[in-house]
Structure 1
Amino acid sequence: MSHSSPLAGSTGPLAGSTGPLAGSTGFSAPRIRLWLTCILVFIGIAALTRLALSIWIGLDTPGSMLSILSAWPAGLLDDLATALVLGLPFLAGLYLLARPLNWRIGRPLAHLLLLVLTGVAVFSAVAEIFFWNEFNSRFNGIAVYYLIFPKEVIGNIRESFDLRIYLPPIILVAALIYLLMRPRLRAALAMPPVRGEWKAALRAGALASLLALPAMALGPFEPAVERNVNELAVNGIHSLLRAALTNDSKYDGVYAGMPEAEALPLVKAMVRQDNTTPLVPADARSLLRRVDNSQGRDLAAAKKLNVVLILEESFGSVYFEDVFQDKQRDYARTVSPNWHRLAEQGLLFTNIYATGDRTVRALEAVFTSFAPIPGISTARRAGSEDMHSLPFQLKAQGYRSQFLYGGPTNFDNMGHFWQSIGFDSVLGQNDIKDRGFKTIWGVADEYLFKEALDRIDAMAGQPGPFLFSMLTVTNHRPFLYPEGRIAQKPSPNERDNSAAYADWALGQFIDAARSKPWFDDTLFVMIGDHGPKVWGAAQIPVQAFRVPLLFLAPKHLPAARNPMLGSSLDVTPTIMGLLGLSFDSPFFGVDLRHVPEGGGRIAMAHNFDVAVGDGKHAVVLTPKGDLRGYSMQVGAHQLEPAKDVPELIRKQAVAMTQTAHRMFYAHQYHEK
């Protein structure tokens, strides 16, 4: 017996023998109705998320209402396209699994699956709000990295938020949506498929998805000038999928390019200094040059000094504005009194910008002096093994090396990266003897530094100089630290209090090190990996990239403050220069002390955009091939759109990024 359909009659919108979903014996409406309902629910949840973010942006950016409204049409189109593409497997499952879904165990599983999918959709929307609060962005590559490490993410959520407050409303909303959809699911399961119907339905679903794909592929659409408003024009799930699929995105054909014969001289000129001599032909895709540091050595002439390099998690210029701006401040009230105190005793660079807003990007820049390329850091890419680096350079000079991390070394591929760029040994939280206080990210800074003192003592007891590096973790959400360490909380902001604890732990470490016999023969290098938070409407939110950089060796290096514009790319060449060690360098970074007055440049990556600036202007490369010009003021919180950007900086931005990308994938920036 054939089964009739509510849509099979002459009045149905999909009825008739010529309709795209028509079968030879009629069409079963319940399955299509359920599919369409799921699509509408997806779009509705996405629209509510966009509304919440629109209100947020409107409060943060007064006068942006017209820009916000301009982003809605593109955003709703992206929601629909994403729903159709993701909905195709669901539609296929309704037909291809029709019989198993009607088995005794199949029906409960179908209801459970619908409830779970609804819960995931609601949870994702709430997670987007929290992600926006932290990163001022839709789901991006950072979210992808976190999903790779669910243990750390779940632990971070549990320690940062009281799930007893947030989970019940999420469960309640998901349950209500499920209850509204349950009758349609029952009807869909109860209606046997009509002969030939599944082919027609899947053809229609596939056609809808095929029509939706161009809308997804041509995005993200950018109807506004403000970066954060343009985020509204994207669906969060689409943004997440795009980040997951394109982290290793190609450069040529996607970003602005130029003939290599024109690009190479530009990049080589950017790294040329008064103490360098090229070692390769002008047309070679290489920056290899001899750096002569034999003249005017600043540090011990007769002895190679040890190096202790400290990367401070999320320690940006926001904690240092008074020093950078030459303002007086009450040290008892600042969140960073120890950084302030140490800055008066060493060589402080006040206009340094990180190359990204992720720790792995800092590892790439500080240790390999490699220019940022679009997408993820090379520390997370296949092929990063044996990149030229500070450990390799110092090893050639007779140094031993060790890296100590307060967290698990498998996170973000960091442990493998450190080993692959020449560190003799890599230690993580499981190697720390006293783990008196820890969060999901690792041990509190004071316990990291306590372990570091013991490890450095052991290295100093052996002949020859050494490089000892470490990465802290405390100044990171959930911003938890041992009680009773800072006399009073200097701020109602939990992030500032975590920074104050990190500063306290650093001060304790340096003070303890002063009593060690190796202190006088050691160069301490301290730098923030990136700023504490990305926010604002700028395409590249520069306030999140500015970091303090301090070199401390009281017996050898006079205290000074240097305002030279520079990058975390420049840390390794500057260390080699301060040590007075000549070397052959392929680095994109330069010795900051050899940059002429008024010179200097920065390079920064934010998601899939890369910016190169000279302190007066900046150019942003986007994955649509655009070159966007901005005026730049060192220390300002954002780049201002500008049309009169010099052609040279435009060409330099393309030349540096294109050359770095090609060198990496051609294995031309490697020791072996």
Structure 2
Amino acid sequence: MAAAYRSAIHPAAGRNSSCICHAAGARPRKLAVSRVGYSAAVSQQVGPPMLFVPLREISVSLSSRRIPPRLGFWLLCLGIFLLLAATVRLTLTVWVEHDTPDTILSVAAVWLIGLADDGATAIVLGLPFLLGLYVLHRVLRWKTGKVLAHLLLIGLLGVTVFSAIAELFFWDEYNSRFNGIAVYYLIFPREVLGNIRESFDLHIYLPVIAAAVLVLYAVLRPHLNRALDTPVQPGEWRRSFAVAALASLLALSFLYGGPYEPVSARTTNELAVNGMHSILNAFLTNDSKYDGIYPGIDEAKAIPLLRDMVRQDNTTDLAAPGERSLRRHVDNGPMPTKKLNVVLVLEESFGSVYFEDVFEEKQRDYWKTVSPNWHRIAKDSLFFSNIYATGDRTVRALEAVFTSFPPIPGISTARRSGSEGMNSLPFLLKQFGYRTAFLYGGPTSFDNMGHFWETIGFDQVLGQGDIADRGFKTIWGVADEYMFKEALGRIDKMAAEPGPFLFACLTVSNHRPFRYPDGRIDQRPGLGFKEQAAAYADWSLGAFIDAARSKPWFDDTIFVMIGDHGPKVWGAAQIPVQAFRVPLAIYAPKHIDPARNTVLGSSMDVAPTLLGLLGLSYDSPFFGVDLRRVPPGGGRIAMAHNFDVAVGDGHNAVVLTPKGDLLPYAMQPGPFQLQPVPAKALPTLLMKQAAAQTQTAHRMFYARQYHELSENP
């Protein structure tokens, strides 16, 4: 099959060709048109050797009368697809090898697999169009049919070229081929198109895309005309379909079972996959299924393991021995005489990379220029330096921080049907008389966030439209300073009424397009536009805390500040956990002594830790724990990336994949990448705990067994 394909693409030069590029002085001599109606011309070369442009060479070859025009046009389209895919792969290879050099053999293996995947993807995606050329051949010979065919070709070329360029930008942002994140963003075209418009110089990129499309269309146009004008010959469609069907069967076999992970480095393995294949795979993946896809464990063993993981010195199990539940009573002492207010700030994309203080002095000073206010606040706070987000999207942070629920493969439960009524921090606080509100700087309709907040216990859900002063905004929402200004006014109103309150807010400025009002911060040498936006977010947070200090409610309020996730996923591990590290500061000068805590923890530990600081005893099935009660060397993390889930204990980590694999790594807390280790080096207990937590959480969610307290208060 491969030999036949190569012979179709590269027949002998000068034989049965409709057009050949001649060197100066060469004189062509046309031969007769074939009896089957194919327009063919042959040129004899006289003079200097011919010079060929690759696309032109393929174009000439496919005009041969040995290949039916429809099949020839189809093969030429596949060739262009392969050329674009190879260009993207070459660019990504340069980027990857610059960051994590591999051996020549590793790169060669990845390229061979990648070229095969490109071909398989092209064949499968292209088969419907070949079918259309034959089934609709009479319609396509009409004038209207021809016009529509040409418009379709131009549109498909535009999509293909745009996707190739978009994939490079996607990699720069997520260090990955198109994946589930790309699929989820397609649901929100307004935000995506607005983000593209505000983030990139379209006056540069659009002409480049248009020029590429016009060049490719000029190459394909005569072949499409020939395919449309030539009548279908007896037996032609059978032969063409026989070739295409056989190729498609081989392609599907490769796409389903190809060796896409020839090396241990995730980023290198990403090179082996075609971007179109990757996004289609993400689109077709059913993340509502777990059993039989991911590593599992006997439920009779899973539940006791989980209960041991969340048991602390102040907890008492309430669930029956065989019950799929972590429900327990948490005793935080006698009820406080005065309940403190809570203001919880989720900082968009503010990872620990913006708060790092473990590097050499020069680098430490560099990062302090990005986050001086965070450093100032952290110095007077209970600060946790080894906290890890549960994902790389905001909806993961909402799930973890407010429902203390671990990540399950695929999208956050905040985006899934059935999240209504999950056990949550606002629900528990309302049992103690708290009033609750959430303010988001952007539109609450995005990513189902508003609906999620409304159905887990927030009485008021406020968004961009509720902010009185929207002095500066991007497609994602108003600048942080204006959101915080609105927050101060809203908190004033809540504080004027009797009873404690929970006021949560989510910022937007530290996000592409990374634009913010002028004159707020000095342009700092050495900082890129991303770091400048992070510095503005830091300035806005500092201004908010400074303004809050003058308020009468300040002394009786706990401020919780945490990054929702890191700014970028980077690293060679299947899940690069160091990119998920975020700062957590709990600030209440009148009530909480400043301290630095290096315990390993997760963003799903925020709610139990806060409830402990508030002195509130409660019943809960939370997966998180009170970080202050974690023994030295204890703690655990969990995070999801695409359709993989990682669980770590600070010494080791394991990644669960949809292929049923458990990938073992050595782990060191901090800005350090995971290191692959032999499976036998990984503690069996951690492997069991990882499977137990992920499997049980998945089953609980779909059986609505994490909702019992909110449904039966």
Give TM-score, length-normalised by structure 1.
Answer: 0.93
Match of 1:543 in 2: 578
Q: Does 1:151 align with 2:190?
A: yes
Q: Does 1:654 align with 2:686?
A: no
Select the residue among 434, 457, 465 that pairs with 2:469: 434
Q: Does 1:453 align with 2:492?
A: no
Partner AA of 2:177 in structure 1: R
The DSSP-based 3-state class of the residue aligned with 1:322 is coil
1:455-534 correspondence to structure 2 within 5 Å: 455-489=490-524, 491-534=526-569
Q: Does 1:88 align with 2:127?
A: yes
Distance 1:175 1:332 in 2: 46
Bigger mean CA deviation after superposition, 161-170 or 584-593: 161-170
Match of 1:175 in 2: 214
Q: Does 1:122 align with 2:161?
A: yes
CA contact (8 A) 1:490 1:496 kept: no
Alpha-carbon deviation of 1:342? 0.6
Partner AA of 1:124 in structure 2: S
1:136-147 correspondence to structure 2 within 5 Å: 136-147=175-186
Partner AA of 2:691 in structure 1: V
1:606-645 correspondence to structure 2 within 5 Å: 606-643=641-678, 644-645=681-682
Q: For 1:472-528, what per-residue CA distance to the aligned partner results, in whole angstroms no more than 9, with x for missing partners?
A: 000011111101101342533111111110000001101111111111111110000
Bigger mean CA deviation after superposition, 573-582 or 242-251: 242-251
Distance 2:96 2:241 in 1: 40
Q: For 1:332-355, what per-residue CA distance to the aligned partner results, in whole angstroms no more than 9, with x for missing partners?
A: 952111111111111101110001
1:269-308 correspondence to structure 2 within 5 Å: 269-294=308-333, 301-308=336-343
Match of 2:138 in 1: 99
Alpha-carbon deviation of 1:375? 1.0
Match of 2:46 in 1: none
1:332–1:381: structure 2 CA closer, same or farther, 3 Å change rule? closer
Partner AA of 1:218 in structure 2: G
The DSSP-based 3-state class of the residue aligned with 2:607 is helix
Match of 1:394 in 2: 429
CA contact (8 A) 1:324 1:350 kept: no
Partner AA of 2:271 in structure 1: L
The DSSP-based 3-state class of the residue aligned with 2:319 is coil
Partner AA of 1:444 in structure 2: A
1:359–1:570: structure 2 CA closer, same or farther, 3 Å change rule? same
Distance 2:241 2:362 in 1: 68
1:652–1:325: structure 2 CA closer, same or farther, 3 Å change rule? farther
Q: For 1:525-552, what per-residue CA distance to the aligned partner results, in whole angstroms no more than 9, with x for missing partners?
A: 0000011111121221122100000111
User: How many residues align structurally?
Assistant: 650
Q: Does 1:251 align with 2:309?
A: no
Alpha-carbon deviation of 1:203? 5.7
Select the residue among 390, 395, 400 that pairs with 1:355: 390
Match of 1:58 in 2: 97
Distance 2:582 2:561 in 1: 10
CA contact (8 A) 2:356 2:367 kept: no
CA contact (8 A) 1:247 1:376 kept: no
1:218–1:28: structure 2 CA closer, same or farther, 3 Å change rule? closer
Q: Does 1:384 align with 2:416?
A: no
The DSSP-based 3-state class of the residue aligned with 1:395 is helix
Q: Does 1:665 align with 2:702?
A: yes
Select the residue among 36, 49, 66 that pairs with 1:4: 36
Alpha-carbon deviation of 1:246? 1.3
Q: Does 1:560 align with 2:592?
A: no
Select the residue among 354, 357, 379 that pairs with 1:322: 357
Larger Rg: 2
1:220–1:415: structure 2 CA closer, same or farther, 3 Å change rule? farther
Between the two proteins, what is the percent identity of the paired residues?
68
The DSSP-based 3-state class of the residue aligned with 1:401 is strand
Select the residue among 263, 267, 273 that pairs with 1:224: 263
CA contact (8 A) 1:152 1:440 kept: yes
The DSSP-based 3-state class of the residue aligned with 1:233 is coil
Distance 2:86 2:362 in 1: 46
Distance 1:164 1:155 in 2: 15
The DSSP-based 3-state class of the residue aligned with 1:630 is strand
Q: For 1:160-204, what per-residue CA distance to the aligned partner results, in whole angstroms no more than 9, with x for missing partners?
A: 111111121221112111111111100111012345654664465
Q: For 1:355-385, what per-residue CA distance to the aligned partner results, in whole angstroms no more than 9, with x for missing partners?
A: 1111111111111111111111111111111
1:565-576 correspondence to structure 2 within 5 Å: 565-576=600-611
Distance 1:139 1:478 in 2: 20
List alignment gaps of at least 5 residues for structure 1.
8-25
CA contact (8 A) 1:531 1:545 kept: yes
1:18-29 correspondence to structure 2 within 5 Å: 29=68
Partner AA of 2:447 in structure 1: D
The DSSP-based 3-state class of the residue aligned with 1:175 is helix
Bigger mean CA deviation after superposition, 190-199 or 172-181: 190-199
1:258–1:363: structure 2 CA closer, same or farther, 3 Å change rule? same
Distance 2:230 2:675 in 1: 60
The DSSP-based 3-state class of the residue aligned with 1:148 is coil
The DSSP-based 3-state class of the residue aligned with 1:277 is strand
1:380–1:247: structure 2 CA closer, same or farther, 3 Å change rule? farther
The DSSP-based 3-state class of the residue aligned with 1:664 is helix
The DSSP-based 3-state class of the residue aligned with 1:628 is strand
Alpha-carbon deviation of 1:636? 3.5
List alignment gaps of at least 5 residues for structure 2.
1-34, 40-64
Give TM-score, length-normalised by structure 2.
Answer: 0.88
